[in-house]
Structure 1
Amino acid sequence: MKFLTAAFAICISCFAHSAPWVPDLGNGNYKNPVLFADYSDPDIIKVGDDFYLVASSFNTMPGIPVLHSKDLVNWKIISHIYDRLPFEKHDRQAHGLGSWAPSINFHKGMFYVYFCTPDLGLFVATAKNPVGPWSLKHMADVELWEDPDAFWDDDGQAYLVRGKVRADILYLHKLSADGKTLLDDGKVIFKDLKTQPVIEGPKFLKRNGYYYIFAPAGGVATGWQSVLRSKSIYGPYESRVVMNQGKTNINGPHQGGMVELDSGEWWFMHFQDRGLYGRVAHLQPMNWKDDWPVIGNDSDNDGIGEPVLEWKKPAIGKIFPIEAPQTSDEFDSKKLGLQWQWHANPKQEWYSLNRAHKDHLRLHAVQNLTQAGNLRFVPNLLLQKFSSPAFVATTKVTFHPDGKKDKAGLVVMGKTWAYLAFYKTDSETRLGLFNGTYEQYDDATKEIASVSWPATSDNYSAFLRVDVCDGGLSQFSYSTDGNTFINIGEPFQATAGIWIGAKVGLFSLNSSIEKSAGYMDVDWFRME
């Protein structure tokens, strides 16, 4: 069991100089990103003294997290818009599908969240309280619509603006007064392939007699934030770039939402594509000049801002405790923590919590004919986002095998993946490190290293760990006592998934044609 490597020494060194990602600097300032996790396509609103944020979920369930903050810097997850999408295709992994770029609005005491899926069309969810419950309506069965946002004009007429996948066009529809029914087929209100290619993610605002549409352009990794302006909601709209990368290292700063504070300050939340970490969320100051917004710091006074890395916190008038979205879970509740998402519509038979084993999560060996472990086809992956540049994830598990092809353990998941898992052979149970890739269609998951594991009363217990360094290099290790950890295999380079960042979490499966009664009990999962 001698798997210590030079690469591991490098990994340990990086942790000696890393710390948890805390955007609130405690001195009246904050640093970006305020959410160092994959909160793609964020939109924000202010209701009373509270701020709410929603983000894309794509194929992960429950879908569209709702986060709450008192100061735009410290955030917590409070709910999800839906537990599952009511379509059979989402009972299996539907990589890249699911919810794209939601928007959140508040009108006459009701919260509204609009979103599209590229294949199923337009949806709206409503709730009196953002904690839920949310009521979901399928508004239009169409394909390739994306990024909707609603707006109620001064006369009460409601509108919906949206894009179309790969079309570089923005459309405007009339909505019913309750915001739940489309009233027309929509009209094209903007298209400019020369100056605003790949325009998408529109967000409405009305101010000083102008209709504004905040819309990113230029593509995710290299684009900019544009704003359209018109005296008529149907246009014609003039456009202007109001934020770009400039001389900073914040690539593609765009797509988000804006809020005005009681103090008169304006703020804009947007994402940056950070590769394996997904699309992390930045907070930028926003000012107005000649009835045009300027986002970020406009040091040369040309009307185009650049992202700030550190800035004075929003003028809320109070100081609130430092918070961050949830990560660790002791599994002592009757519900999974809000940080967890499955890779498809969840089924009750996948797991039990605090029922079969008190203060434990039980993951059943779900039958899935995956060619002995190809996780591309496994829906019952229980995962959460990478939450900082570097971290350590440790879990205490006990494996109870039944079938000959039961397998369960700790996984880092993306278009490539690695997992440290218990598995059965004809003669024994082993703990092994495996690598796989999304591109594989045959039985190409590779065993990198393994050790025999002695049983205690027909179960197998261990502490499983992955150390993730800044840049995603991930070293797996295991322990029998929770103190001394032994590395296994070489470090693995984590990668992003399909439209989502890399994730870390747990799984249990049976890849045999014969069903299994096996399972893995999880005592706790801790992120440090």
Structure 2
Amino acid sequence: PWTRPHLVKEGLGLIDACPLWDEETGEAYLVHGWARSRAGFNNRLTGHRMSPDGDKVLDEGRTLVDADLLPGWFTLEGPKTYRHDGRFWILAPAGGVATGWQGAFRADSFFGPYEERIVLSQGDTDVNGPHQGGWVRTGAGEDWFLHFQQTGAHGRLVHLQPMRWDADGWPVMGDDGSPVRVHRKPDLPVGPAARPAVDDGFPGGAFGPQWQWTANPGADWTRPHEGRGLRLTCVRTDRADDLRSVPHVLTQRLPAGARTAEVRLRLASDTPGARAGLVVLGDAYAWIGLERAPDGRPLLAHRFAPGNADRERDAARAVPLPGGTDTVLLRVEVTADARCRFSYDAGGGPVRLGPEFAATPWRWVGALLGLFAAAPEGEGHAGTGVFTDFRAPAAPDTAAR
């Protein structure tokens, strides 16, 4: 079991901490960066001696790298620290998440002075950033570097770069410092091809590990049962008109590449104003789903909220479901550049609803696919939204790559 968290160092704006245990001396160290929004400054890395058990820092700390003194460097952050070839190393990105580069710093002593070099940058490639990452040495002795690339609504994509050491002892990443898209794999045992889970049948009312709530979960937000489908409680709230401000949206990352996400929904609620649906959630968002009208009819609704609005508005006029049914197949087609087209199928074939919606990142985490159920404030249980067979297969040209 995990111990309870404990405070190693107190302060405002301390970010991106990385420990190092020096196997040669038995000493331990800690390096971290700074967030200007809380500390009032950034672009520097601070180092401490640390107790070997990781319980506390042992000194006031010193600035290891002040990038304000390095021409052209800004927003230095995300340090990873290592020992290699008798030296102390810090690998850290600078220049901004979407526009920066990967730096390497080395010194004979942990507290410096450090030399610096840019070891990975976008160059003429389409891999912008490249941002925060780490060095990995395999059991076969090969060196590789993992980093991410900021891609807007599709979030942060992870890349694996080959790495070697030049005659002067500096790391060389990618193709002489530029990211590569294609390269031989690491020399490791061959395993089956796999990708992160996306689809979910919700057996027994449970959801898979690819899903997460947008805030700490409530115990009564789902309804376990013996059959199929996910039963989301129509949580009563006065903020159902802004899904960015409520905690009970169940989400997963917007998968990269073109694909169509679909899920079948039944609105098991007689409460006027109760609603449930499929949402593409970001700083701006849009959803399609069902809402119970004051006269008891289930209405097909499609709404969106711009990034500068504090509540949603209609993206299309709400329409009654045909034939008195309360079940519908919801669908959103997402293009490779994250443009979304919403539609539904109530048994008569797919019907497009509303204009095209451009997905946007939610702060820095990319856009999310989500399921939700909500109801106006009031007393008593407001029913559930029952979701079955969530699927989001990749488009054929994406799946082949």
The verdict on a shared fold, with TM-score over 0.5 as the criterion, is: yes
Q: Structure 2: how far apart are the matches of 1:462 and 1:331? A: 17
1:396 maps to 264
Contact 2:273 2:294 in 1 (8 A): no
- How far apart are residue 516 of structure 1 and its match? 4.2
The one-letter amino acid paired with 1:294 is V
Shift in alpha-carbon separation, 1:475–1:292, aligned structure 2, 3 A: same
Do structure 1's residue 327 and structure 2's residue 198 form an aligned pair? yes
Instruction: Compare CA radii of gyration and give the structure with the larger one.
Output: 2
Do structure 1's residue 219 and structure 2's residue 65 form an aligned pair? no
- How far apart are residue 451 of structure 1 and its match? 1.6
Q: What does the per-residue CA deviation read over 1:46-67, in whole Å, with 9 as the maximum and x for residues that have no partner?
A: xxxxxxxxxxxxxxxxxxxxxx
1:524 maps to 389
Q: Structure 1: how far apart are the matches of 2:103 and 2:308? A: 36
Contact 1:450 1:488 in 2 (8 A): no
The one-letter amino acid paired with 2:274 is D
The answer to which structure, 1 or 2, has the higher relative contact order (CA under 8 A, 6+ apart) is 1
2:341 maps to 475
1:112 maps to none
Contact 2:244 2:281 in 1 (8 A): no
Do structure 1's residue 488 and structure 2's residue 353 form an aligned pair? yes
Do structure 1's residue 433 and structure 2's residue 302 form an aligned pair? yes
SS of aligned partner of 1:410: strand
Shift in alpha-carbon separation, 1:185–1:363, aligned structure 2, 3 A: farther
- How far apart are residue 447 of structure 1 and its match? 4.2
Aligned length: 382
Do structure 1's residue 312 and structure 2's residue 184 form an aligned pair? yes
SS of aligned partner of 1:276: helix
Do structure 1's residue 263 and structure 2's residue 140 form an aligned pair? yes
Structure 2 counterparts to residues 59-78 of structure 1, below 5 A: none
Q: Structure 2: how far apart are the matches of 1:134 and 1:526? A: 34
The one-letter amino acid paired with 2:46 is Y
Q: What does the per-residue CA deviation read over 1:76-103, in whole Å, with 9 as the maximum and x for residues that have no partner?
A: xxxxxxxxxxxxxxxxxxxxxxxxxxxx
Q: Which of 144, 157, 164 is the matching residue for 2:27?
A: 157
Deviates more, 1:208-217 or 1:187-196: 187-196
Do structure 1's residue 274 and structure 2's residue 144 form an aligned pair? no
SS of aligned partner of 1:257: strand
Shift in alpha-carbon separation, 1:262–1:418, aligned structure 2, 3 A: same
- How far apart are residue 335 of structure 1 and its match? 4.5
Q: What does the per-residue CA deviation read over 1:220-270, in whole Å, with 9 as the maximum and x for residues that have no partner?
A: 111000000000011111111001111111111121111111222110010
SS of aligned partner of 2:220: helix
- How far apart are residue 333 of structure 1 and its match? 5.4
Q: Structure 2: how far apart are the matches of 1:315 and 1:392? A: 35
Q: Structure 1: how far apart are the matches of 2:235 and 2:129? A: 40
Q: What does the per-residue CA deviation read over 1:265-306, in whole Å, with 9 as the maximum and x for residues that have no partner?
A: 1100101111111111111001101211011101xxxxxx10
Q: What does the per-residue CA deviation read over 1:478-510, in whole Å, with 9 as the maximum and x for residues that have no partner?
A: 1134x8322111221111111110111200111
SS of aligned partner of 2:153: helix
SS of aligned partner of 2:132: strand
Do structure 1's residue 387 and structure 2's residue 255 form an aligned pair? yes
Shift in alpha-carbon separation, 1:207–1:138, aligned structure 2, 3 A: same
Contact 1:284 1:296 in 2 (8 A): yes
Q: Structure 2: how far apart are the matches of 1:152 and 1:160? A: 9
- How far apart are residue 513 of structure 1 and its match? 4.4
Q: What does the per-residue CA deviation read over 1:426-452, in whole Å, with 9 as the maximum and x for residues that have no partner?
A: 1222011101134223x4433423220
- How far apart are residue 135 of structure 1 and its match? 4.0
Do structure 1's residue 347 and structure 2's residue 218 form an aligned pair? yes
Deviates more, 1:208-217 or 1:175-184: 175-184
Unaligned runs of 5+ in 2: 37-41, 394-401
Contact 1:198 1:219 in 2 (8 A): yes
Do structure 1's residue 498 and structure 2's residue 363 form an aligned pair? yes
Q: Structure 2: how far apart are the matches of 1:215 and 1:424? A: 52
The one-letter amino acid paired with 2:367 is A
The one-letter amino acid paired with 1:267 is W
Contact 1:403 1:516 in 2 (8 A): no
Q: Structure 2: how far apart are the matches of 1:320 and 1:264? A: 19
Q: Structure 1: how far apart are the matches of 2:32 and 2:54? A: 14
User: What do you get for the CA RMSD once the two structures are aligned?
Assistant: 1.9
Q: Structure 2: how far apart are the matches of 1:465 and 1:417? A: 15
Give percent identity, aligned residues only. Answer: 37
Deviates more, 1:272-281 or 1:484-493: 484-493
Q: Structure 2: how far apart are the matches of 1:455 and 1:187? A: 72
1:369 maps to 238
Shift in alpha-carbon separation, 1:338–1:308, aligned structure 2, 3 A: same
Q: What does the per-residue CA deviation read over 1:333-360, in whole Å, with 9 as the maximum and x for residues that have no partner?
A: 57431110111111111113xx235222
Q: Structure 2: how far apart are the matches of 1:379 and 1:508? A: 11
Q: Structure 2: how far apart are the matches of 1:500 and 1:418? A: 17
The one-letter amino acid paired with 2:28 is A
1:420 maps to 288
The one-letter amino acid paired with 2:84 is R
Q: Which of 154, 166, 171 is the matching residue for 1:293?
A: 171
Do structure 1's residue 191 and structure 2's residue 57 form an aligned pair? no
